[in-house]
Each structure stands twice: as structure tokens, then as C-alpha cells.
Amino acid sequence: MSKPVAEPPDSGESRWPIRPLHLTLIGLLYLVFSLLWLLGGDRMLILWAGGATPPLLVEMLKDLLVVSAGGILLYLLLRVYGNVVRLRINQVQDLRLARIEEQARRTRDALENRVRERTAELLAINQTLEQQVAARTQVEIALSDSEERFRQLAEHIREVFWVYGIAEERLLYVSPAYEEIWGRPVQSFHERPLDWIEAVHTDDRQRVYAAHLARQQLGRLDEEYRIVRPDGAIRWIRDRGFPVRDEAGYIYRIAGLAEDITAHRLAEDQLRRQQVELAQMARLRLAVELASNLAHELNQPLAAIVAYTQAGLALLRQDQADPRALTGALDAVVHQGLRAGEIIRHLRDLVQKHPDARTALDLNALLRAVVHYAQLELRQANVVLNLELADNLPPVLGDDIQIQLAALYLARNAIEAMQDAGEPRRLTIRTTLQDSGMALVTLADTGHGFSTDTADRLFQPFFSTKPGGMGLGLSVSRSIIESQGGELWATPNPDCGVSFHFILPIYGRRHE
């Protein structure tokens, strides 16, 4: 006995869960009533069948009424109660539903809130991300700008810029100037990392390779070497490297610059050559001077010979020849002829003994000879000479002609410096033996001296404070003295004028 139950469409539970009970109760009531009726049924049936006596019928009706009324009442009660219960149930259910709905709503709201929050969060994150992306882009732009600048710099400087990676054991970057200077493609580095060493001149290769190894240890490099270009041309390179450290302070890269110093080198070589030429020129000048001196020496006996002979001839022609006078003249001619021969022999000895070689020299004697050459100039300039030559000065090692030349230049320079200076004009030439095993020569004048400005340039070629001066004397003198293992320098005197000093190694002592 089941009754169709209206199922709430939206709920799995029975909307009326009490109904079967309710029907069962009513059924039971009817069963009880039926049993009661059966117990008194014959009366009722009689009543029912044959018009029962009214009292009984009334009785029966009354019972039935009572029972029905009771049943109805019960029914009503039950109904009401059922409704009430149902209402209650409904209410409860509604409440529950409402509660569920509420809960659901709340959940939904919460969800929605969370979604909203999350969305906002996401939006914020997105925004941040966007900002970050924007910033990043800017950084990238800046980076690429700086990279561009670096590239422009690296690729347009005449020097080769390179970066060497210690861990990578190869050059990470080489600027394009490499191609121009080395005459080899930069690409070759990636294919053959040792390409560069092959370009180094064979004479320099070992040294450069050693420097390259040292570079990896020290992070530093400063080498000058030659390279041979594929076309066979030789270029001089100055290669310098500097360590690049990571945050921990370890050298992980070496950055460097290699520049083409060929022109510089050539200029230096040319200057050196010029100096040598100048020294040769100066040597020639001294030789001419010596020759002129020699001519004077030779001309004396020659003049005497000619004069004696002509006097003799004159006497003979005049027919008053005193044989004694003639004999005397002829003796004198012989004597003067021998004297001339002596001069020439002496010269030959001098030339053969010192054919441009460094020998033991008596510096004091040499300076006296120089003073002799400068005698005329000293007199003309009205200069008083002080010779303060050290006693027992051991011989020095040097080429006498060269040193004479330098000393003569210095003496002349001193005399010229005093030409316009006031009196007294004094040139002091001093020799001293130094503890260092060098002989020191000082030429002190009382001239104008020099300003600190010109002090640096004194020894530069073509620098002169004298009108008409070539500016070569001091630079040539310095190169001469240095070629003899000495040094030449100048100091201002405390009162007035300048002192030029040069040192020369003592003969027979070891010098570096």
C-alpha cells in the first residue's frame, strides 16, 4: 500500500515522510472501528439490513457518529497535526533549505569574494608583471644601448679590444680592428684559437707565448712584439691586458688593448738613426778640426823649410854667400823636414792605435787637449779657465775622439752661454773619482743658466736658446756619452750659471 508521493523536484528527500505512517494510523483506526463494529455488528447490520429499531439505530448511529466523529476528529486532528507536522517539517525543511541556501549563498559569496580577491590579486600581479616587463624592457633597451655604445667604441677604435675568458681558455671577443691590423679575419679566432700566436714574428713568438701564459696567472700583460701579416708586412704591436674580477674577487677574464705602434717605433728608430748620423756628423766636424790642427802643425816646418831655402837661394844669387850661413840654413831645412815627418808619424800612430775603439784614456790629458782646442774661443769670449783635475785619476774606458768631441761641445756651450753674461766669466772644468767606480767630469759656467722650463728640453735635438743655434750639441753630446756607457746631465749652480756633468766608467772595472 503505497501512495504516490509528490516528490519535490529539487530535493532527493521525501517531502512527505510522515504520510505512510499517517495512512497506517488511519487504516488502524478503521480496523479498530471495523473490529468494534463487527463486535456489535449484528446490530448494526440489522439496523443496516432491516430497519433496526430506532433507539438501537440511534445508538448505532450514535456510536457510528461517535466513532466517525472520533475518527473524523482523529482524522482532523491527525490532519491538522499532520499539517502542523508537515508545516513544521516544511518549515524545518524550509529552514534547512534556507540554511543550505544561505550557506550556499554564503559559500557563493565567499567564493565570489575569493574570486574577486583572486582576480584583484591576479590583476595586481599582472600589473606588477607588466611593470616589471616594462622595466625589463627598458633595462634591455638601456643594455642594448650600452652594448651598442660599447660595440661602437670597440669596433671603431684603432686599437684591438679583446676579452679573454680564463675558464674558456680562449678569446671571447676581439674587436674588428684586428682584421685591419693583423690582416686576418676575426672569425679565425673561433675556428683556430691559436691563430694569433701564429701571426707573431718568429723572433718574438717564444717571449710572447711566455707572456701569454703569465697573463693567465697574473691577469696582467704588457708586451711589445712584431706580427707578420699575411701579406708579409711587419707591424709592431703593444699589447696590454688588465684583470677583470668577479664578485668573489677571482680573476675570470682579462680585458686588453692591442695597438699598432709601428709608426711610433719607426719614428723612434728614425730618431735614433738621426742621432747616430748627427754623432757621425759631429765626429766628422771634429775630424776636420783635428785635420786643420794638423795642417797648422805641418805648415810650421814647411814654412820654415821654404823660408830657409829661399833665403839660401837669395844669398847665393846675391853672390855674397857665407858658407856658414848656407850650411846653417840647409841643416835647418833637414831638421824641419824631419820634424814634419815626426808629426805625420805621430798622427799615423794615433789613428792606428785607436781605430774607433774604446781604450784606456787619461781623462785629464784629454780635457787639457780639449781646453787647447777651445783656447781661442775662451780668449775671444774673455773667459777665465779653472782646471781642477783630480790627482791620480785612474784611466777611463772610452773612445777618445768621441769623448773629446762631447767635452768640446760642452766647453763651447759653456763659453757661448757666458757671451752676454757679466764679468767675471769663469769656466771651471773639474774631474772627480766617484765611489761608484765612475769618473765624474763637471763643466761649470757663470752664464745665464736655464729656467726649469727649458731644463727638461735641454737635451732634446733641435732645442736651442741661442740665436742661430742648431740645438744639436747637447743632444749629440748626451748620445755620445751614453754610447760610452756614461751619463750626461745638467744642474743649475747655486749662484749663477749651469754645471754639466758626465760620468764615464773607470777602465778595468766591471760595470753593468
Partner 1 sequence: MNESPPTVFLVDDDPAVRDAVGLLLRAGGLTVEGFANAAEFLATDAVRRPGCLVLDVRMPEMSGLDLQKKLRNDGCPMPIIFMTGHGDVPMAIRAMKAGALDFIEKPFSGELLLTRVYEALTIDARDRCRQAQREAAATRLSRLSPREREVLDRVADGQYNKTIAAELDISISTVEIHRRRAMEKLEATSIADLIRTLALANDQAAR
Nearer to partner 1 by Cβ, of 82 and 312: the residue is 312
Inter-axis angle of helices 54-156 and 19-39, nearest 10: 170
Minimum CB distance to partner 1, residue 372 (Å): 10
Minimum CB distance to partner 1, residue 337 (Å): 11
Quote the DSSP letter at residue 174: E
Read off the C-alpha cell for 140.
634591455
Residues 24-48 as b/e (b if ≥16 CB within 10 A, e otherwise) read eeeeebeeebeeebeeeeebbeebe
Site for partner 1 in 335-354 (CB under 8 A): 335-336, 339
- The CA distance from 341 to 412, in Å, is 32
Q: Which of 53, 107, 292, 386 binds partner 1 (CB under 8 A)?
A: 292
Q: Which of 305, 403, 481, 503 binds partner 1 (CB under 8 A)?
A: 305
Read off the C-alpha cell for 419.
757671451
Contact between 376 and partner 1 (CB under 8 A)? yes
Contact between 387 and partner 1 (CB under 8 A)? no
Contact between 373 and partner 1 (CB under 8 A)? no
Cβ neighbors of 468 (< 8 A, separation 6 or more) are none
Minimum CB distance to partner 1, residue 331 (Å): 11
CA angle 173, 176, 181 (to 5 degrees): 115
Find the largest Cα–Cα distance for the chain: 240
Stretch that binds partner 1, among 41-49, 91-99, 295-303, 428-436 (CB under 8 A): 295-303
Contact between 421 and partner 1 (CB under 8 A)? no
Cα dihedral 339→344→349→350 (10° resolution): 110
Closest CA to 501 of 412, 413, 454, 431: 431
Contact between 1 and partner 1 (CB under 8 A)? no
Nearer to partner 1 by Cβ, of 200 and 333: the residue is 333
Cα Rg, the chain, nearest whole Å: 65
Contact between 296 and partner 1 (CB under 8 A)? yes
Minimum CB distance to partner 1, residue 347 (Å): 15
Q: Which of 262, 300, 465, 483 binds partner 1 (CB under 8 A)?
A: 300
Contact between 302 and partner 1 (CB under 8 A)? yes
Q: In what helix (H) or strand (E) does residue 441 lie, and over which residues does it extend? A: strand 438-444
Contact between 311 and partner 1 (CB under 8 A)? yes
Contact between 308 and partner 1 (CB under 8 A)? yes
Contact between 306 and partner 1 (CB under 8 A)? yes
Interaction pattern, residues 19-38, with partner 1; x per rule: CB under 8 A: --------------------
DSSP-assigned states of every residue in 257-324: EEEE-HHHHHHHHHHHHHHHHHHHHHHHHHHHHHHHHHHHHHHHHHHHHHHHHHHHHHHHHTT---HH
Contact between 322 and partner 1 (CB under 8 A)? no
Contact between 290 and partner 1 (CB under 8 A)? no
- The CA distance from 411 to 370, in Å, is 8
- The CA distance from 49 to 253, in Å, is 128
Q: Which of 82, 219, 301, 486 binds partner 1 (CB under 8 A)?
A: 301
Minimum CB distance to partner 1, residue 333 (Å): 8
Residues that bind partner 1 (CB under 8 A): 292-293, 295-297, 299-308, 310-315, 318, 325, 329, 332, 335-336, 339, 375-376, 379
